[in-house]
């Protein structure tokens, strides 16, 4: 689950919103109370044939993973056709603040995000960063936030009770405001955050197909859809020639290529195969 988490350091600083307070660090973190997230990893492969970078993010989302992602994305080939970056997700969540920054990096690089295992809690912020977003029903899990104390790897050390402490309540509210604004900036439906808040922090709701589509958790960033459809049309050949073909072929790719056992290069070639065949 995504939480505002407290990070023990020699100097106590609030890093979530760039503010400094004489408190233990609080950041947005996701993790399952009964099944803590495993240490996160970001595995990078480049499909040499198509010059597409494919990054697979697994385990807990943390600032360490954010750093690895930033270094990898700096090497993305922006001239690759039809896209230069694909991010595969299999995470129970982690640091929500880091997840938002990861999503912003992915959006800036016009990356495509796909869930290949599960994507719950703070992972949904990473998923939202994609200009193309794909997930099968029952693989995206959401709930409201909470505060925890955690380390730099997003491992939860202690649950923190917010009730009755105005400072902690303010920190959580600040993160929720940031998260809501971020989701709207990414083109996610304005009602999605309220939908997340309806789910108790100790529970999780797995989204069905209708919910994924209604809240625009899956689909396309509208401006990008027009841009990529025009690029495909100009390229000619087997690429889709209309908005509808782009949508239909991408949906087929999600159904046909999303498998946690598939390595990155295999996914890249499977995805492009579906895009170039009706």
DSSP conformation letters of 40-86: PEEEEEEETTTTEEEEEEES-B-HHHHHHHHHHHTT--TT-SS-SEE
Assign 174 a pLDDT band (cuts: 50, 70, 90).
Answer: confident
Assign 40 a pLDDT band (cuts: 50, 70, 90).
Answer: low
Q: Helix (H, G, I), strand (E, B), or coil: what is residue 91?
A: strand
CB atoms within 10 A of CB 90: 17
Reported as type and span, the H/E element at residue 25 is strand 25-30
Render pLDDT for 232-271 as a digit per residue (tens, 0 to 9): 888 888 989 899 999 999 999 999 998 756 778 888 889 9
What is the predicted pLDDT for the residue at 16?
29
Domain ranges of the chain: 2-275
What is the predicted pLDDT for the residue at 221?
93
Reported as type and span, the H/E element at residue 200 is none
Assign 132 a pLDDT band (cuts: 50, 70, 90).
Answer: very high
Burial of 77 (0-12, 13-18, 19+ CB in 10 A): middle
Q: Helix (H, G, I), strand (E, B), or coil: what is residue 213?
A: helix
Name the most confidently modeled range: 7-11, 160-164, 198-202.
198-202
CA–CA gap between residue 278 and residue 51 (Å, rounded): 23
DSSP 8-class letter at 10: S
CA–CA gap between residue 255 and residue 112 (Å, rounded): 15
Query: Do residues 142 and 207 lie in contact, with contact meaning Cβ atoms separated by under 8 Å?
Result: yes
CB atoms within 10 A of CB 245: 16
**pLDDT greater at residue 142 or residue 47:** 142
Q: Provide φ and ψ at 104, rounded to 5°.
A: -65, -40
Q: Provide the CATH topology of domain 2-275.
A: 2-enoyl-CoA Hydratase; Chain A, domain 1 (3.90.226)
CA–CA gap between residue 188 and residue 195 (Å, rounded): 12
pLDDT above 70 covers a percentage of the chain that reads 76
What is the predicted pLDDT for the residue at 265?
81
What is the predicted pLDDT for the residue at 217?
98
Q: What is the mean pLDDT of residues 149-172?
A: 68
Assign 163 a pLDDT band (cuts: 50, 70, 90).
Answer: confident
CB atoms within 10 A of CB 170: 12
What is the predicted pLDDT for the residue at 80?
75
Q: What is the pTM of this model?
A: 0.83
Q: What are the tokens at 101?
A: 């920054």
What is the predicted pLDDT for the residue at 160?
63
Query: Do residues 121 and 141 lie in contact, with contact meaning Cβ atoms separated by under 8 Å?
Result: yes
Q: Over the range 222-240, which residues count as b (16 or more CB within 10 Å of their CB) and which as e? A: eebbeebbeebeeeeeebb
CA–CA gap between residue 157 and residue 7 (Å, rounded): 9
What is the predicted pLDDT for the residue at 9?
28
Assign 35 a pLDDT band (cuts: 50, 70, 90).
Answer: very low
């Amino acid at each position: 689950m995504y939480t505002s988490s407290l990070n023990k350091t020699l100097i106590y600083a609030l890093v979530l919103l760039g503010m400094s307070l004489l408190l233990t660090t609080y950041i947005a973190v996701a993790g399952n109370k009964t099944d803590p997230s495993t240490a996160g990893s970001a595995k990078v492969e480049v499909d040499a044939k198509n010059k597409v970078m494919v990054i697979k993010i697994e385990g807990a989302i943390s600032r360490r993973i954010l750093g690895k992602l930033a270094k990898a994305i700096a090497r993305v080939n922006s001239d690759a056709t039809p896209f230069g970056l694909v991010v595969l997700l299999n995470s129970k969540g982690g640091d929500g603040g880091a997840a938002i920054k990861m999503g912003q990096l992915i959006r800036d690089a016009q990356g495509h995000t796909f869930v290949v295992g599960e994507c719950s809690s703070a992972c949904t912020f990473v998923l939202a960063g994609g200009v193309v977003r794909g997930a099968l029903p029952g693989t995206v899990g959401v709930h409201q936030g909470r505060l925890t104390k955690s380390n730099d790897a997003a491992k939860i050390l202690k649950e923190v009770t917010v009730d009755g402490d105005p400072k902690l309540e303010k920190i959580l509210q600040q993160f929720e405001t940031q998260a809501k604004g971020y989701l709207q900036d990414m083109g996610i439906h304005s009602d999605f955050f309220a939908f997340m808040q309806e789910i108790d922090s100790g529970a999780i709701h797995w989204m069905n197909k209708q919910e994924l589509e209604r809240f625009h958790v899956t689909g396309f960033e509208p401006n990008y859809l027009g841009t990529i459809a025009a690029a495909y049309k100009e390229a000619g050949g087997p690429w889709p020639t209309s908005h509808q073909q782009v949508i239909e072929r991408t949906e087929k790719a999600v159904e046909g290529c999303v498998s946690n056992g598939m390595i990155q290069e295999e996914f890249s070639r499977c995805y492009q195969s579906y895009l170039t065949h009706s």
